[in-house]
Structures are given as structure tokens and as C-alpha cells.
Structure 1
């Protein structure tokens, strides 16, 4: 079991489900994003998924796309990002920060270097959604050499054999997209949707040795409660960003507390 999986297992002894929030680095400014991450960590979130912005974030919906484009109006670079994250991982040892970004900026930085630096700053997991596992041999080798977990994504339309393969190879945790489409508003609220998500997660659990995180479209407490016993981590992304956009940090924290009242 990896260090990240052990962290999740230990945390789960005291909580029915863990929280992971999403923040775009550099939005609306670099310092404001770092202040927001610090507030979330001070609040006691278990994970913060910090996105290094990219101009074409294909897995993301309008809110996160707009945040990425705004962030990229500044002069941001991966090394500064990692240095900033290292300060936060040092200051908040009871939570974990994982990197989320796309292949282009990470490849330009160097995947070997990325894994090495992640280990140096105690960032235990990397999420690169547009890097398929079939083309990831060097990346996986670099992660393994530095004891970093490459976190893979599956969706409800992932073919059964591929889903089973990704679930069996997952370490750290497996990121399970709760519905088809991009991040943002849920479109799986129709009749029978809960049963379909339950079946999907049950299929994953039958093949996964790693913990399970579920995201995309989570906006209400009842959705998170429905995941208890079926997943280990509930991931709050666009809903938190929308609250932040509407009312700043206090609005974001109000939403967080309503969704994770025992945080």
C-alpha cells in the first residue's frame, strides 16, 4: 500500500468520507489562490487538488476554464508552483495536496523532474487526465522511483475491460468521474441515476485495490451522503469555485461546511 493510500485509510477511521477541494493556482491571482488554499487547509479539508492552469483544459467545464484563462494572464511557471506547494505541505502536515494539470505544461517541465520534485515537497499524487496509461511507461517509472502515485481517471462510459484494468492498476486512489461530460453542473439527476452510479462504483470496487474518490457534479449534501460506504473521497470542484466567485472565501467555506458538516 502506498503512503497516499495509507493516509486515506488512516483518515477514514475517523470519517465516513473524506473531502477533496479543487483550486486553480493563480486564480484570481497567485497570492489570492495561495491564501484560499491555506484557508481550506486550515478548515481541515483532507485533500486539496491544485490545478496548474492550461489554456485548453479539456476535462473542465466553463467555471474552471474561465479560471484557468484568467490565471494564465499572469506569468506562472511550474517551478514556482511547486515551491509554493512545498510551503503549504510543510505548514499543513495533516492534509495532502495533489497536483492536477494537463500533459502539455507537465511534459515541458519534464515528467521525471516533476515526480522528483513532488517527492521533495511531500506532494504524494499527480493527476494528468489527458495522459493515457498506455503511453505512460516512462511517467509511471518516474513516479514509482520517487514513491509518487499517478492517479488515473475512469468514467461511466469507460469500457468495462479498460475500467477493470485501470481499477486494478490504481494506487493512491482512483479518481471516479461520477458522470459523462466535463466538470460543473450535474446532469445525472434524473430517475434511476443513483442506482446507475451505485452499479458503476460497485463494478470499480470489485477490481480496485486502491481507495476511490468521486467527483464531477457534486453540489449537494445528499449527493455526498449517497457516496458514504461506496467511496472514500468526495471531490468538490466547480461548485466551490462558483461559490468563491459569488462571495469570496466566506461563501466558499459556507458551502464546504454545509456539504461536510463534520469536517
Structure 2
């Protein structure tokens, strides 16, 4: 079963799915392991495992800092892949995706990276700085290995652009809720509702909404407008503030929104 089929099956059981995000190696792989356990045991459907990069252009200050500190502590791509393999084995109920920037993939070797991801049980990739026009080989290799190449809609995307992006993508579409970087709050106003309507018209793929989704109220507003809520910065802040044990109750509260 590919990622799209898996998500569509889950959507027959609950109205809104949850995807979370963490930066591998921040604050440590040991903490990552406990955070993932808390997420998996409380019903998270997908988890983005971010391979740290020195210039994460789509990420706000919290995730930028996490990337920098993980790199400073010595995390390597091979460590991230080994850890991801362990998590995919331990929590088969979760769809794990690699999130990173294309320089990491290019340096590793595109074909080798995709093959290795398939071997360890990953379900797809989120690479925000690789536009589909420059990603033909990536898209083809991902398809050949049965992995999802996640594409992005943004509020500035035209209807025509959305249709073309959706045609290239697979798994689900990541709908960026607003211009800018991750971590800033997103207000649910008429323009955002209209944008979600355009997203829905452009594709039959499930719609995941991220950038500024931080609490139970934000998640509740997505019911009927999206298929999956993406929680990133809020979880990292929570772990920094209260530790990994706080993640389970937080995720449970979002699932009940």
C-alpha cells in the first residue's frame, strides 16, 4: 500500500490526520527516540524526520536553531538514516518521511539516497527547495521505488500552477498556510478558506496543512478543510520547555480537537 492509499484508508476512520516533525539529533537522538514513541503511541499518522542542514531556508528560528545545534553536536547523514531505519522497524504503524534540503540528497547521491530510504521502510520525501521543473530524476526514482515525492501548494500559487504541481506529486500535497517560514502563527481568515478551496479543486491527493499550526484550536479549524494537520515548531518548543514526556498528552489533545 503506497502512502496515498494508506492515508485515504485512515481517513475513513477519522476526519483529520496528524503529521509531526522533528529535527534528528536535536537535542539528541535519545530524546528523538522518546518523542517519537510518545507520538506513535498517541495516534500520529506521519512523522517528518528532518536531516539537519546548515541553511534550512523554509524554516523559522526555532527549527533553524535545532538544525544548527544538531550539526554542532556532530550528527551525520548516515546517523540519521540508521536512526530512521530503527524507528521504521519499531513503529510500523507510522508513515515516516525524510524532510531535508536538496544539497544533502545531492551530496549523498540521489539514486543511493532514494534506494536506501526504500530499503529501510520510509514512505516518502519532503524537499522544499527542489521545484518539480528541476526534479525530474528525483520524481522518477521516487516513483520507481514506490515512495511519495511530496509537493507544495502556497497561497501565491495560481490555479494552473497547483494543477501542474499536483500532477507531479504523490502521497499528499503539503499546503503552506501562509507566506514566510515555519513557526509564525497563522490566522484562519476568509482568504485562507478561499485558498484551501482552491487547493481542494486542484487535486484528489490528501491535503496536509502546515506553517503556524500550533494548538488544539488551530487543528479544530482545519476540520472539513484539510485532511492532515502538520505540527512542527510547537512540538520542538514543548520539548525544550517541558521535556519529551509532555509530547504524549499534547498529541492526544490535538487528536481530540
TM-score normalised over the length of structure 2: 0.95
Contact preservation (8 Å) 1:28, 1:70: yes
Q: Secondary structure at the match of 1:72?
A: helix
Q: Secondary structure at the match of 2:26?
A: coil
Matched with 2:125 is: 126
Q: State how far apart, in whole Å, the 2-side matches of 1:67 and 1:220 are.
A: 20
User: 1:203, CA displacement in angstroms?
Assistant: 0.8
Q: State how far apart, in whole Å, the 1-side matches of 2:42 and 2:253 are.
A: 13
Q: Secondary structure at the match of 2:243?
A: helix
Matched with 1:31 is: 30
Q: Which moved more, 1:30-39 or 1:171-180?
A: 30-39
Q: State how far apart, in whole Å, the 1-side matches of 2:197 and 2:111 are.
A: 34
CA offsets, 1:135-182, max 9 Å, x none?
A: 001111111111111101121112332222112332100000111110
Matched, 1:195 2:194: no
User: 1:87, CA displacement in angstroms?
Assistant: 1.5
Matched with 2:171 is: 172
Q: Secondary structure at the match of 1:206?
A: helix
Matched, 1:158 2:160: no
Matched with 2:76 is: 77
Matched with 1:14 is: 13
Q: Please point out which of 220, 233, 237 is paired with 2:215.
A: 220
Matched, 1:207 2:202: yes
Q: Please point out which of 230, 248, 260 is paired with 2:243.
A: 248
User: 1:90, CA displacement in angstroms?
Assistant: 1.4
Contact preservation (8 Å) 1:167, 1:204: no
Matched with 1:182 is: 181
Contact preservation (8 Å) 2:43, 2:252: no
Q: State how far apart, in whole Å, the 1-side matches of 2:183 and 2:13 are.
A: 29
Matched with 1:115 is: 114
User: 1:77, CA displacement in angstroms?
Assistant: 2.2
TM-score normalised over the length of structure 1: 0.93
User: 1:43, CA displacement in angstroms?
Assistant: 2.3
Q: Secondary structure at the match of 2:189?
A: helix
Matched with 1:68 is: 67
Contact preservation (8 Å) 2:139, 2:168: no
Contact preservation (8 Å) 1:168, 1:207: no
Q: State how far apart, in whole Å, the 1-side matches of 2:161 and 2:35 are.
A: 37
Q: Where has structure 1 moved over 4 Å in runs of 4 or more?
A: none
User: 1:257, CA displacement in angstroms?
Assistant: 2.4
Between the two proteins, the alignment pairs up a number of residues equal to 257
Where does structure 1 lack aligned partners over 5 or more consecutive residues? none
RMSD: 1.5
Matched, 1:94 2:93: yes
Q: Secondary structure at the match of 2:214?
A: coil
Q: State how far apart, in whole Å, the 1-side matches of 2:184 and 2:148 are.
A: 28
Q: State how far apart, in whole Å, the 1-side matches of 2:132 and 2:81 are.
A: 24
